Each structure stands twice: as C-alpha cells, then as structure tokens.
Amino acid sequence: MLEKILDGNIQIIDSVIDWKDSIKIAGKPLLEKNIITENYINAMIESIEKLGFYVILRDNLAMPHARPEDGTLGTGVSLLKLNNPVYYGNSKVQLVFVLATKDADSHMETLMQLMELFQDDESIEKLIVSKDYDEILEIIKKY
C-alpha cells in the first residue's frame, strides 16, 4: 500500500539549504499532482515556526504536515531522501515524509503503515543509505 501511495512521489537529492527548503522540495510532487496547494507548504513551515520541531519522529526522520483546511485537495504522501542531512533544530534529518490528508479520517490506514515503517530500524537505515528510487520502493514494499 505505501509503495502505491509513494510511487511517483519520491525524490533523492544531495542536500538542501535548510529545513524550510526541505519542506518546499518534499511537497513538490504533491503540489504538482494537485493533492496540496502552495498554502499547505507555507502552513507546514509556519506551524513548525510556531510550535517547534514537533515533526521529528525519530533520528533522521521528519514528517511535516498541516491541517486539511490549510490547503489539501486529496490524500497523499511524498518522500524526500537527502544524501546529506539537514538540521531541524538540533536534529539531523535525511528522510522527509510530507503527509497530506483531505479530512480527519481518510489517512488513518496510511498513517498506520507509515508508523510501522518508522519503527523498523533496519528499514529506516536502508532508506538513509539508499541512492536509488527503485531501491526505496523495494524497501517500502512490505508496508
């Protein structure tokens, strides 16, 4: 299931300027597919500026998101894999998953699959060292 929702929404790049840049780039596939609006990207950044780096879910992984009314047109997930980490505050991040949901309920199954992935140390480590799109899809295939 995760493989299906992430297919076409995975980017691998060397580095970004800062955490804000990582969110803008990570959200781009969802923006291009009209799953989110530009306002959603701005809302994710504003939310972190206001509340702090609550989007850090574990070492090397962040999941920026905002409220559905901030500009989601559908439900989707994208992944930005950075070869060189960016800092979210004091936390080093190489995996940026953007979550967009059109309502409060439609994303629960996807969120449960993501949480399963996020708790799997071996899979996270493989994602961090992966350099190839197909390799990433292969890792997330089991979720």
**Which of these is catalytic: 24, 65, 81, 107?**
65
Q: Are strands 76-88 and 10-13 parallel, antiparallel or unpaired?
A: parallel
Which candidate, 43, 49, 39, places its Cα nearest to that of 18? 49
Which candidate, 81, 115, 76, 95, places its Cα nearest to that of 11? 81
Q: In what order do the strands lie in the sheet with 60-62?
A: 10-13, 76-88, 91-100, 60-62, 56-58
107 is known as an active-site residue: no
Could you give the residue numbers annotated as active site? Answer: 65
